[in-house]
Amino acid sequence: MEDHSRDPVPRPLTGRLLPCRPHRSPVKIGVIGAGHVGGTLAARLVAAGHEVAISNSRGPETLQGAVDGARPMTVEDAARFGEVIVVSIPFGRYREVPAERLDGKLVIDTINYYPQRDGHFPELDDGSTTSSELLQAHLPGARVVKAFNAISWINVRDAGRPLGDPERLGIPLSGDDERAKETVAELIDEIGFDPVDAGTLAQGGRKHQVDAPAYGKGKPTAELRSSLGR
């Protein structure tokens, strides 16, 4: 992957369709959490031609054959393996993500905060921050992009469509690093969805977190862009 860390950063524009360009070579992707969301994303990314490692808290022996073409690993090894890391675990366990292994890496945050499952976090309950900002604070050396949290895993599996299809669904993404968002946008496009910029982690994260206007099982691109504008 190209190093764009010194490139000028364009100003984000909420609701825009992010530009995409095909990857010239496979990307190494480590997936932490191999449930419905993580496992489905792993399968779609393998099908798109990327090198994918999957992991969970129970160990690689429990993942043999779980995703065709993906390599079962420990969480530590998957974090070390990937240029891009997908974090897809219950939010209440976000501090278990190995921060020291993710310095300098792009982290895709698919997590949603559900108090009934995760326990109550006062700073989330009162709206003073977002779950993605807490994950970013836990991973200070990584570039966190929130994506794939506002679409059902079934739609990720079944609803991908070619570029230009009028029925294509949009996927919102938010983050503080524009180059990182462009990389995630390319991955979203490759598996059949339109990447729609929701803004920064603080701004955009609030627009597609649970119960926000852009949250749901998957929205057509035009409807999603309208939701992000509210």
Sketch the domain layout of the chain as residue ranges: 28-228
Report residue 204 as tokens. 């955009």
- How many Å from the N-terminal Cα to the C-terminal Cα in the chain? 35
CATH number of 28-228: 3.40.50.720
Q: Return d(Cα 119, Cα 123) in angstroms, integer.
A: 12
Per-residue pLDDT tens over the stretch 206-223:
999 999 999 999 999 999
The set of residues, in sequence order, having a beta carbon less than 8 Å from that of 55 and lying 6+ positions away, is 30, 31, 32, 33, 34, 63, 72, 73, 74, 75, 77, 78, 79
At 191 the pLDDT is 97
Which structure tokens are listed for 207? 């627009």
* Residue 4, pLDDT score: 41
Confidence at residue 229, expressed as pLDDT on a 0 to 100 scale: 82
Tens of pLDDT, residues 157-190:
999 999 999 999 999 999 999 999 999 999 999 9
Q: Is the pLDDT confidence value at 17 over 70?
A: no
d(CA 103, CA 84): 11
**Looking at residues 129-152, what average pLDDT do you find?**
97
Give yes or no for a contact between 146 and 109, defined as CB atoms under 8 angstroms apart.
Answer: yes
Q: Residue 149 — very low, low, confident or very high, per pLDDT cuts 50/70/90?
A: very high
pLDDT value at residue 207: 94
User: What mean pLDDT value characterizes the chain?
Assistant: 91
Predicted pLDDT at 25: 83
Contact assessment for residue 70 and residue 43, using Cβ atoms and an 8 Å cutoff: yes
Q: What are the two backbone dihedrals, phi and then psi, of residue 40, each rounded to the nearest 5 degrees? A: -70, -45
pLDDT digits (tens, 9 = 90+) for 89-134: 999 999 999 999 999 999 999 999 999 999 999 999 999 999 999 9
**Mean pLDDT value across residues 16-27:** 69
Beta partners for 143? 106
Q: Which residue has the higher pLDDT, 4 or 103?
A: 103
pLDDT of 1 reads 46
